[in-house]
Amino acid sequence: MNSVANFAQPVDAVAPIARDAFRNAMAKMGAAVNIITTDGPAGRAGFAATAVCSVTDSPATLLICLNRTASVFDAVIGNGVICVNVLASAHEDLSNLFGGKTSVDARFAAAEWRQGKSGTPVLCDALVSFECRISAEADIGTHRVLYCTVEEIHDGSDAEALIYFQRAYRRVGG
């Protein structure tokens, strides 16, 4: 309780956690599957992501974590706007497409979209979609964390959700 010397200071050197050990452990933290889209001066792009998190409702803000070497990185940063589309259980194939090596055009051809106010593609049958503007950024290790102010919400279907847990798709709710 009294020692300032122990305050948030590592006492001993700590061996770094191996990448595989971290990935295997994180696989046990289930997460919603989303398709994140962007469009604008830097081009159209979209990718599947589970690293999305609510931050605060005042002002309505979420964050996404994006590898700075991802093929979609320049488009996302260049446009400054994204749409987070929360997937339903029926979107398993779409998730695989947006998580693979398929071309941008082939990805978007596999589903129905409408253009949001921000110009981003909104997935017509998502559970819910958040049109967002990137408001702050932080580089952490290999990734950039993008804080995104929500500007528009499109409430969608009440279908079952698509959850990724232990490296497999799961269906919940409905």
Residues 100-159 that bind a copy of itself (CB under 8 A): 119, 127-128, 130, 133-134, 136, 138, 140-143, 145, 147, 150-153, 155
C-alpha 156/C-alpha 126 separation (Å) is: 6
Tokens found for residue 13: 């050197």
**What sign does the dihedral 70-73-74-76 (CA atoms) show?**
positive
Q: Which stretch binds a copy of itself (CB under 8 A): 7-15, 91-99, 105-113?
A: 7-15
- Of 45, 63, 123, 146, the one binding a copy of itself by CB under 8 A: 63
b/e burial code for range 159-171 (CB count within 10 A of at least 16 → b): bebbbbeeeeeee
- Of 92, 102, 124, 170, the one binding a copy of itself by CB under 8 A: 170
Interface residues for a copy of itself in 10-39 (CB under 8 A)? 10, 14, 16-17, 19, 21-26, 28-32, 34
Tokens found for residue 24: 């295997």
DSSP-derived letter for residue 92 is H
Peptide bond into 59 cis (omega under 30): yes
With CB under 8 A, what is the number of residues at the site for a copy of itself? 77
Choice between 88 and 111, CB closer to a copy of itself: 88
Binding mask 38-57 for a copy of itself (x = CB under 8 A): --xxxx------xxxxxxxx
